[in-house]
Structure 1
Amino acid sequence: MKPISVTLLLVSLVLSSSFLQITIAGSSFCDSKCAVRCSKASVQDRCLKYCGVCCEECKCVPSGTYGHKDECPCYRDKKNSKGKPKCP
């Protein structure tokens, strides 16, 4: 019984580490795009937070530091609870 439980533990560790690496690799796209998008923002932490949320949902970020939202309609059309643009 002991070898089986050790084997299962090792297999679960390998699978969980693989999943973690995939998740981290997927977010590096958004991290790099949002870093460029928010490079000139006055409140960088807030810009990076909302840009990251929008990027994860839309799978794209407009080029440049401002404007160009027509490149990514999903990003452009997201609104906050007050009806204003959610994505920076």
Structure 2
Amino acid sequence: MQSENPFVADFVKLMNSAAGTLAGVGREARENARERFKEFMGDMDFVSREEFDAVKELAATARAEVETLKARLDALEAKQNTSI
């Protein structure tokens, strides 16, 4: 048999309300922290992996072209120096 003590019933209601409020505060704090983290990361200049790989490939191609042109220039300079 359960007794209906108004003090206990009010205390239980108060604790349930407090638990709900704390859960809401925790949820709000978590969402706020997540939003701030997104803002922080959004302000940084990150690139996607695809963009990075594309630029890396362009740099490798440019480096190879520079080496080819350098070799041609060295050959032309050597040829010019021998003809003088």
**TM exceeds 0.5?**
no
Bigger relative contact order, structure 1 or 2 (CA pairs below 8 A, ≥6 apart): 1
Please say which structure displays the higher CA radius of gyration: 2
- Report the TM-score, using the length of structure 1 for normalisation: 0.40
- Report the TM-score, using the length of structure 2 for normalisation: 0.41
